[in-house]
């Protein structure tokens, strides 16, 4: 530090917990105050860059690549808070807490299918990254389990026939594409309202089915045998009006002669 210059306005550790700002002098005509202000700005920028550079060198590459927002573009306090949360869960108790976060991601409201799946993927990636590090490569939450949990939030009558029940068909990315095509940008509230709605039936298919039913009725009508009943001696005797004569043909011919 040069003689006559003030001490840095913020310490390195301050930048990890709060957004540090150098107040601008009220009197911008004061050259000395403005010079010190410019110097403090440079120091603050250098401190921020040094911390980011240091963390980028020591953090695992997998962790940095999994971040939704680039480490260098995010506010430093927010990045540090997430970092503490991630590496503070390196035990069984922490893993239980992270799985609870995964379940919470499914319960929260969402504005669209993309909003939901991004949140679920982030929670799943955090859990699996930590479990691989501490459980010798074990992935705690599979794509298939995550996909089934996501599907459970949507009315099955709209997607049931389109999901291939297999390792590839139940991949979270495939399920996301399917749900986006079906539900588009509907929110959680709009999707839940669809549970009670009947699924529209194809008009042409319904007409073909109706035609078949009418044809069956007509055939049954032609085959129907009309019968009448007569009472005799307290019993009912069914007499077919279309019954053929039981008299032999030769006797009928003789009678006519």
Per-residue model confidence as pLDDT tens digits over 120-168: 998 898 888 878 877 777 888 888 999 999 988 888 888 877 787 887 7
Tokens of 55: 């963390």
Mean per-residue pLDDT for 176-182? Answer: 89
pLDDT at 91: 65
Residue 90 pLDDT grade (very low, low, confident, very high; cuts 50, 70, 90): low
Residue 197 pLDDT grade (very low, low, confident, very high; cuts 50, 70, 90): low
Residue 95 pLDDT grade (very low, low, confident, very high; cuts 50, 70, 90): confident
pLDDT at 120: 92
pLDDT tens, position by position, 28-81: 788 888 888 888 888 888 888 888 888 877 777 777 777 777 777 788 888 888
pLDDT at 3: 53
Mean per-residue pLDDT over the chain, rounded: 73
For 120: left if phi > 0, alpha if psi spans -120 to 50, otherwise beta; the answer is: alpha
- Rounded Cα distance, 111 and 180, in Å: 12
Give the other-Cβ count within 10 Å of 124's Cβ: 22
Tokens of 186: 């509907």
- Rounded Cα distance, 176 and 187, in Å: 14
Q: What is the DSSP letter of 141?
A: S
Q: Which position has the higher pLDDT, 93 or 202?
A: 93
pLDDT at 65: 76
pTM, two decimal places: 0.45
pLDDT tens, position by position, 227-245: 444 444 444 433 333 444 4
pLDDT at 116: 92
Residue 212 pLDDT grade (very low, low, confident, very high; cuts 50, 70, 90): very low
Q: Which position has the higher pLDDT, 17 or 228?
A: 17
């Amino acid at each position: 530090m040069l003689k006559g210059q003030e001490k840095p306005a913020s310490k390195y550790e301050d930048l990890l917990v709060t957004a540090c700002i150098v107040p601008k002098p009220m009197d911008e005509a004061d050259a000395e105050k403005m010079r010190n202000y410019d110097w403090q700005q440079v120091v603050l920028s250098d401190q921020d860059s040094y911390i980011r550079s240091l963390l980028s060198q020591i953090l695992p590459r997998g962790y940095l690549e999994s971040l939704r927002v680039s480490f260098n573009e995010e506010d430093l306090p927010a990045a540090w808070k997430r970092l503490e949360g991630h590496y503070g869960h390196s035990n069984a108790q922490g893993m239980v807490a992270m799985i609870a976060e995964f379940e919470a991601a499914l319960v929260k409201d969402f504005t669209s299918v993309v909003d939901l799946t991004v949140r679920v993927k982030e929670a799943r990636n955090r859990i699996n990254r930590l479990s691989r590090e501490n459980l010798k490569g074990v992935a705690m939450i599979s794509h298939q389990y995550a996909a089934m949990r996501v599907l459970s939030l949507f009315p099955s009558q709209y997607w049931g026939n389109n999901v291939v029940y297999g390792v590839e068909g139940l991949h979270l990315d495939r399920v996301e594409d399917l749900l986006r095509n079906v539900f588009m940008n509907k929110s959680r509230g709009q999707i839940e309202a669809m549970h009670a709605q009947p699924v529209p039936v194809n008009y042409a298919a319904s007409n073909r089915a109706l035609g078949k039913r009418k044809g069956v009725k007509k055939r049954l009508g032609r085959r129907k045998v009309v019968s009448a009943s007569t009472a005799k001696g307290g019993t009912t005797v069914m007499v077919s009006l279309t019954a053929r004569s039981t008299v032999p043909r030769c006797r009928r011919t003789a009678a006519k002669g």
